[in-house]
Amino acid sequence: MHDPAPFGYSHTATVPAGTELVLIAGQYGSGPDGAVVSTDFSEQVEQAFRNVGVALAAHGLDLSHVVQLRTYVVNHDVSRLGPVAGAVRESWGTRPPTQTLIGVASLATPDVLFEVGAVAARP
């Protein structure tokens, strides 16, 4: 198989027996008040990944514990792959988690353009 890291994901991940899974619900580009921080797609992606980090920290974990991402992109086209892959590279470097990207017509509210859910593993 090709090396998917430049595209922001890995083909596989393993979770050792006895590991606790922490599930992070879909995070979007919101600030502390729940409002979307920007109408810009790239800025929403970056904020959503920061929010995943905050959610993980609440469980004593960080991004290195993430084994799977599920990303949802409104009106997906190839131009939106760059910002998503870039945010993943910035967060995980050359060892990204597995990821499934799903193009959708809309999300919870019309101003939300991107959402990401995560599965993390606590050793």
The pTM score is 0.92
Q: What is the tens place of the pLDDT at every residue in 57-99?
A: 999 999 999 999 999 999 999 999 999 999 999 999 999 999 9
Architecture per CATH, domain 19-122, reads as 2-Layer Sandwich (3.30)
Q: Distance (Å, rounded) from C-alpha 87 to C-alpha 93?
A: 9
Evaluate whether 111 touches 100 at the Cβ level (below 8 Å). no
Nearest partner of 96 among 2, 6, 8, judged by Cα: 8
